[in-house]
């Protein structure tokens, strides 16, 4: 397996595409912040359920768990740390919500949503720090939440590219797209993985779709550049 430092150097896509998409607003996490024991319980339960599905042979769960580095029990302190960091850096006006505090009646606290938000923020922080295998453990647990599964699949595909596990990245990116995911980064990842597998035609199709989807939105300029760069590389490799 590549070292942490080598996993951070993946010029084919560019560093911008190897970070996780932006985490939920910190105010959203604060408004739904669960108690620490509940974080542990829900995270452990979700991870165990996802692991059972991997052991049962479900392709996506097997692919995701093939990337995993740490044990779930080792990750729990990182979740607590991410929650503490989030509260410390809340935007102005959003710092009055603490575990167990009362919220306005129109916005009841949703502990499951808080766990999901904490895991998403934690995974993004870990990837940015180069702790990709640790981030995978967070993202594997997120597969158990239907509302978070698409984001988790895209995040896991990004981690697979960082870890140079292109065969796993392809499975995850394709499942994300099959579920209706529209982020052009998924097509960039699938195109790169197809290139590494020698399937030029499929790679070209994915990269063309990525460029088409990214061209109309300036937020996806990095995806557009990556798709164009890889398409040029395909043409010159003939």
| pLDDT in 10s for each residue of the chain, 238 residues | 343 333 333 446 777 888 887 655 555 555 565 565 666 777 788 888 888 999 999 999 999 999 986 566 666 666 656 555 654 554 444 433 333 333 333 343 455 777 788 788 878 888 888 889 888 988 998 898 888 899 999 999 999 999 999 999 999 999 999 999 989 999 999 999 999 988 999 999 999 999 999 998 999 999 999 999 999 988 887 6
**52 with 115, same domain?**
yes
In a domain, 176, yes or no: no
- Say whether both 67 and 132 belong to one domain: yes
Q: How many domains does the chain have?
A: 2
> Cα(222)–Cα(56) distance, rounded to whole angstroms?
38
Annotate 83-108 with b (16+ C-beta within 10 A) or e (fewer).
beebbeebeeeeeebebeeeeeeeee
**Domain-embedded: residue 63:** yes
CA distances from 31 to 90, 93, 106, 144, 155 (A): 11, 12, 12, 22, 24
- Domain range for 218 is 182-238
Q: In this structure, how many other beta carbons lie within 10 angstroms of the beta carbon of residue 201?
A: 9
- Phi-psi group of 168: left, alpha or beta (phi > 0 → left; psi -120 to 50 → alpha; rest → beta): alpha
Domain identity same for 30 and 119 = yes
């Amino acid at each position: 397996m590549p070292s942490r430092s080598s996993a951070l150097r993946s010029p084919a896509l560019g560093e911008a595409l190897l970070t996780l998409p932006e985490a939920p607003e910190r105010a959203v996490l604060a408004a739904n912040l669960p108690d620490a024991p509940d974080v542990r319980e829900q995270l452990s339960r979700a991870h165990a359920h996802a692991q059972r599905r991997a052991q049962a042979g479900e392709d996506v769960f097997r692919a995701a768990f093939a990337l995993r580095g740490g044990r779930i029990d080792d990750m729990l302190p990182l979740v607590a740390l991410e929650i503490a960091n989030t509260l410390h850096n809340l935007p102005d006006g959003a710092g009055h919500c603490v575990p167990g505090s009362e919220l306005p009646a129109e916005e009841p606290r949703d502990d499951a949503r808080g766990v999901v938000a904490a895991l998403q923020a934690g995974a993004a922080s870990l990837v940015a720090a180069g702790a990709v295998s640790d981030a995978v453990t967070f993202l594997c647990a997120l597969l158990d939440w239907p509302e978070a599964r698409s984001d988790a699949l895209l995040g896991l595909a990004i981690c697979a590219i960082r870890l140079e596990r292109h065969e796993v990245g392809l499975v995850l990116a394709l499942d994300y797209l099959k579920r209706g995911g529209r982020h052009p980064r998924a097509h960039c990842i699938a195109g790169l993985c197809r290139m590494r597998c020698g399937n030029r035609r499929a790679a070209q199709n994915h990269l063309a779709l990525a460029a088409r989807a990214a061209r109309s939105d300036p937020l996806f300029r990095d995806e557009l550049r990556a798709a164009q760069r890889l398409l040029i590389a395909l043409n010159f490799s003939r």
